[in-house]
Every structure is written in C-alpha cells, then in structure tokens.
Amino acid sequence: MKTFYITTPIYYVNDIPHIGHAYTTIACDAISRYKRMKGYDVHFLTGTDEHGQKIQAAAEKKGITPQQLVDEIHKNFKDLWKVLNISNDDFIRTTEERHIKTVQAMFKKLIDQGDIYKGTYSGYYCVPCETYVPENAMGENKTCPDCGRPLTIMEEESYFFKASKYVPELIKFYEEHVKAVMPKIRYNEIMSFLKSGVHDQSVSRTSLKWGIPVPGDEKHVVYVWFDALINYASAIGYLDDPERFNKWWPDVRHMVGKDIIRFHCVIWPLMLIALGLNIPVEVIAHGWWTYNGEKMSKTKGNVVDPFAMVKEYGLDPFRYFLLREVPFGNDGDFSERALVGRINSDLANDLGNLLNRTLQMIKSYRDGIVPSCDDSSSDLSRLAPEILSRVDECMNDYAFDDALKAIWEFISRSNKFIDETMPWKLAKDENESQKLNHVLLNLYEALRLSAMLIAPFMPDTSEQIFSQLGLKDNPLKCQYDLFKWGDSSGNRIGEAKVLFPRIDVNEWQKA
C-alpha cells in the first residue's frame, strides 16, 4: 500500500488559535481524507510548539511555571481540532519525552560528526519571532522581515550548525525536484535565498532556560526553531522505532504558512542532509488571510475566531469557504458577507437544491425506490470520469479551490440536467416511463458521486447526503477508483432534510 505522511507546522502556544491555524489544518485534513479514499495508508500529524522566550515570559507574568502554562493552553488547539472535525492520527507536543530525547540525540549526533560547533554569536535579534535576522534580510530601519518589529543587538555564546556546508547539495536537489517547494513563487524565493549564501546557524541559547538542554552542556538550551522542526521525525519513531520511521519518512510532506518556509525549505533540509535523511518530498506554503481587506490584529479587533465562525455558520460551510475562496498559496480575504454568499449560492441553491429536488421526485414518482433502466449512460455519466480525473489532478497539486470548482461544475450540470429533461412532464406520460427512470437514476448517481467528491472537504455533509440517499456506507470509506455509475437501482431513499437553510441577507445585515 502506498504511504502518505503529511504534517501541519506545530503551532506556538503563546496565543489562542486563529483562522490561520484553522486554514492550514483543514487543508491537511482534506488532503489526508482524500488520500485515504484513494487507497493510501495516511499518517497525519499536528501538534504544538511549547518552548521559547515568549512562553517563559508569559508564565512568569502569570506566576506559574512554563510547563503549567503549556499544559493548559495546548488544549485550545486540541479543542479546536475536535470542533473542526480534524482527522489527525497524532498530536505531538515538544515538551513530550519522545521529542526531547530525539532532539538531544540529533544534536549530539551533529556535534559528534563535527556539524555543530561552539562559538560566539552577535547579531540582530527579533524577540517576538525568537530569531536572529541577517542584515541582508532586514526590513527598513533594522526591522524584522516577518513581523515588522524593531530588532535588538544581542551577543552570546552559542552552538552553530554548519548549514553552509550542505547548501550546494540542497540546491542540486531543488534543481532536480522543482515541485519540492510549492507553489512556484515560493520555489523561486527559496532558490534565490540559497544562491545568495546561507550562513552557519546559531542553534542554542544561554539567555533562556525554558527549552531542551544541550546534551553535555546544560547552560545552553536548544534554539526553539531547531527543537521544533525535529517534531516531524520524533513523532514517528526516529529514535526508538526504526521500522515505523522508515515506513513514513520517505513520503513526508509539510504544509506551512509562507512566513516560515525558510525554516522548512532551507534550515530543516540542511539539517536532514547532515543527519543522512531524505529531504521532504514537498513543502506546500499557503498565503495569509486578511479581514475585509485589512490585516488582522488584536488591536483592530478583527481577528477571525474559528470557534465563533463554526458556531454562527456551521462547520462544513466554514471548511468549504476557506478552501474554495482563494487559490491555495495565495493570500486571501475573509469576509462574512462572502461566506454568507457561498452558503446561499453554492451550498443551498446548488447542492442542497439538487438533493431536495431529486429525492422529492423519486419519492413522488417511484415511491422512494431508485428505478432501473436498460442504459444508464448520459451526459452526466460521461462527465463523471472527467471530473474524477480533474479532481485528482487538482488535489495532487493541492489546488483545493480548483478541485471544488470542478465538483461544483458537475453539481451545476446535474441541476441543468433536471431543467433539460423536465421529469415533471415525463411523469405525466406513461409512454415516457423508461425515460423518467433513466433521468431519476442518473440524478441519484450524480448525488452519490457528488457526496463522495465533497467528503474530504465537508465530511459531515457527505454523510448526511448518503443518509438521505438511503446508503449505509460512510462516503469517506468509499474508494474513488472503484466508483461505478448505475449501481444503485432498487435502493430505497431515506428521509429528505434541508442541508443548508438559506440565510436571509436582510436579517443577517441587521444582526
């Protein structure tokens, strides 16, 4: 069986989860569910990053230990994943023993082979991002290129990783694997960065206590980014379960925000080369979300709370909107008005209407039994394999919006099929009985396929559709490649219910 190992970044627990965390994790969930339906053995990892200066400072402010702080706030992420119906196979915390031991083992291996050495580091440091920033990467007026805040000069004894030693090998790898960094604009950015020169990296701190001690030199703690990246290996048994590690690692893929691609596409691969491990097959970087055209910030009070969005609009509409609204990799704008529009048009008018009309006609014209016909081929049956192929191509490129556009093209064509064939007219003419059977069977099959197609994106909705179709199977356990058109004759439909109630826009605006 083919394997597929996908990870989110581990999320820093200094703040409550927001739409960016939800977006990455929902995208990973969708591709994980899709690959399972394609017959892959999937391992989906997420987790939390729990060391570093910000955690130490926040704990001191609260008068508790850093461990007490992270033990409490990491639950916010676990709670959100339950609300978002995330199908992760594992959740790793960097304060877990399995991770700490792996970090120390890797650090020691690199010291022993001469790829980590001790020196003194002096440079510009961003406290909020917990990273040193080289002068050629600074923003205007010596500011952090990621968060825009002023940098401070720091000097301390440090261990260094010989990153520069392995840069030529990494450039060669990327030249031979142009899809190892996606989308293309990020690939170009990484190649430009590598070719401009990469310095040896500081990988320890003495000014910080809340971190993993450097083996053999406990006045140093491992730099939080070096520590965090290793979670992808520690979670699958790098240290103590080689069989499990060797099963998953060759197929590892990371999904991250564009702000952390240098860590994932430069530092991490260089570490892996030094450790004798393969570079990730793909790193997929997505863009940032704004809110009604403005950058989100606590000060402005416009940070989108995923808990609140799910409570207000429902889980699957929220999942659908995030993956449909913008091309994955681009920046996107979150607008509740646009979300309401998607619910009313795509979900209520298109998908919900197709289901309601079809079930009502099967109930009225054939006593709730899906009829048979001599030949089930139609425009819909001929379009189905093309849509399946297009969805597969899009998903392999993480083009979630294009996959959903293809699915909705099929749903729209199915609605048009009703208007073209006019079953209500056929039902009035006994001589058209076989033609009516043909139409109803094709519409039922179109819904069965549509439910399968949307299952990775909207798992609850797909199950509801299967239930209303009278199908006992879980659509997520159906295999895409085994779908056969016309197999449903004789099925008794279930109880029809409204999938997505339309939102009264006038009333919504008043709220």
DSSP states of 305-362 as a string?
-HHHHHHHH-HHHHHHHHHHHS-BTB-EEE-HHHHHHHIIIIIIIIIIHHHHHHHHHH
pLDDT of residue 467: 97
The per-residue pLDDT for 298 is 67
End-to-end CA distance of the chain: 52
The answer to which of 75-84, 211-220, 294-303, 464-473 has the lowest mean pLDDT is: 294-303
For the chain, what is the mean pLDDT?
94
Q: Tell me: pLDDT of 66 over 80.
A: yes
β-strand pairing of 213-214 with 131-133: unpaired
- Provide mean pLDDT across the span 266-289: 97
**CA torsion, ordered 487, 491, 493, 494, to nearest 10 deg:** -110
Instruction: Report yes or no on whether pTM surpasses 0.85.
Output: yes
Instruction: State pLDDT tens for residues 124-157.
Output: 888 777 777 877 788 888 899 888 889 988 888 9
Give how far Cα 441 sits from Cα of 265, 272, 438, 469, 471, Å.
50, 54, 5, 12, 14
Query: Average pLDDT, stretch 269-273?
Result: 98
Q: Given this model, what pLDDT does residue 299 score?
A: 66
- Burial string for 446-478 (b: 16+ CB within 10 Å, else e) reads bbbbbbbbbbbbbbebbbbbbbbbbbeeebbeb
| Residue entry with tokens 């290996």 | 233
Q: Compute CA 428 distance to the chain's CA centroid, rounded to the nearest angstrom.
A: 50
- In angstroms, the CA 466 to CA 452 distance is 9
Helix, strand or coil, per DSSP, at residue 478 = coil
Compute the C-alpha angle 337/339/340, nearest 5°.
65
pLDDT, one tens digit per residue, over 367-397 is 999 999 988 899 999 999 999 999 999 999 9
SS3 state of residue 106: helix
User: Residue 254's closest CA among 186, 194, 175?
Assistant: 186
Fill in the DSSP letter of residue 302: -
* Contact of 268 with 298, CB cutoff 8 Å: no
